[in-house]
Amino acid sequence: MTGGVQEGRCLCGAIKVTLAVPAAVADACHCSMCRQLSGGGPHFAVEGDGRRPCIEGEAALRVYRSSDWAERAFCGICGTPIWYRFIEDDYHSISAGLFDGNELTLNKQIFIEEKPALYDLANDTPRLTGEEVIAEYMAKKNA
């Protein structure tokens, strides 16, 4: 995977995602909801370039409102996580596992204060707390 337009799909192929990405990087989220969604480990996600991803197979898409401000989508057939989305501004964080030939570099780890002792990632990356992540997001939003 390199920067540019990338295509990915869920495990069963019912949902296809096309996303413009500025770079081949992913973030690892250690928050309790992401860990529960991913089976106990971090959830790896790719940020697009700000444009809404193109989704094919929306009939199979299931959306769960996980908080007052965000929702998560997954394939209703195979269960593959598709995205995390801030409702207010339609920002999407797309699951890194959707993309074939994944050659991503880990960019940063977020919600590091919620990471359990179960695992450690060896990558030397920035490690942001939830408070720092929200501050970074708000700064981008208000820029």
pTM summary value? 0.88
- Dump pLDDT digits (tens) for 80-131: 999 998 888 888 899 999 987 567 889 999 999 999 999 999 999 999 999 9
Mean pLDDT of 30-45: 93
The DSSP bridge partners found for residue 73 are: 63, 83
The answer to whether residue 2 scores a pLDDT higher than 70 is: no
> Between the CA of residue 92 and those of 41, 73, 87, 124, what are the distances in Å?
20, 10, 9, 25
pLDDT, tens digit, for every residue of 56-81?
Answer: 999 999 999 999 889 999 999 999 99
Residue 139 has a CB neighbour count (10 Å cut-off) of 9
